[in-house]
């Protein structure tokens, strides 16, 4: 799904009110305003986080929001140019709470 973050906010709020956990694909593209808005929503989990800066990583850590990273997806969609420059190592060292390997292939 693509579009403005604000378009989906009412549906996401409703889903949360119904007891559903929310996972957001966030930071797959560089868009600081959208990343900050999504983090302020406090989702149950964040997917990707390719373009998070230290400020956003600090927010993740203080909010205890887990990150799910998919190395192959990030490379195939050109969010990351190669595995050598992937942010996994940086995220892992900075943010040692939770990682899901469900997307690794």
| pLDDT, tens only, 1-52 | 567 888 999 999 999 999 999 999 998 889 999 999 999 999 999 988 888 8
H and E: helices and strands count for the chain: 5, 4
Contact 68, 99 (CB under 8 A): yes
Full domain range(s) for residue 74: 22-100
54 within domain boundaries: yes
| 42-78 confidence digits (pLDDT tens) | 999 998 888 888 899 889 888 988 888 877 777 777 7
Q: Measure the CA–CA gap between 19 and 90, rounded to whole angstroms.
A: 32
| 64-74 confidence digits (pLDDT tens) | 888 888 777 77
8 within domain boundaries: no
pTM for the whole thing? 0.77
Query: What is the tally of structural domains in the chain?
Result: 1
Please tell me the predicted confidence (pLDDT) of residue 68.
83
Please tell me the predicted confidence (pLDDT) of residue 61.
83
79 within domain boundaries: yes
Q: Measure the CA–CA gap between 49 and 74, rounded to whole angstroms.
A: 10
Residues acting as catalytic residues = 28
The CB density around residue 34, as the number of other CB atoms within 10 Å, is 17
48 within domain boundaries: yes
Q: Is 48 exposed, middle or buried (0-12, 13-18, 19+ CB in 10 A)?
A: buried
105 within domain boundaries: no
69 within domain boundaries: yes
What Rg, from alpha-carbon coordinates, does the chain have?
A: 13
| 85-101 confidence digits (pLDDT tens) | 666 666 666 555 444 55
72 within domain boundaries: yes
């Amino acid at each position: 799904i693509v579009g403005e973050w604000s378009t989906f906010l009412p549906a996401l709020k409703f889903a949360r009110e119904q007891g559903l956990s929310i996972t957001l694909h966030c930071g797959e593209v560089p868009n600081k305003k959208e990343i900050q808005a999504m983090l302020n929503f406090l989702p149950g989990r964040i997917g990707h986080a390719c373009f998070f800066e230290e400020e956003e990583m600090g927010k993740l850590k203080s909010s205890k929001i887990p990150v799910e990273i998919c190395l192959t997806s990030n490379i195939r969609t050109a969010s990351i140019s190669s595995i050598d420059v992937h942010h996994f190592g940086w995220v892992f060292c900075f943010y040692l709470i939770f990682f899901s390997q469900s997307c690794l292939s």
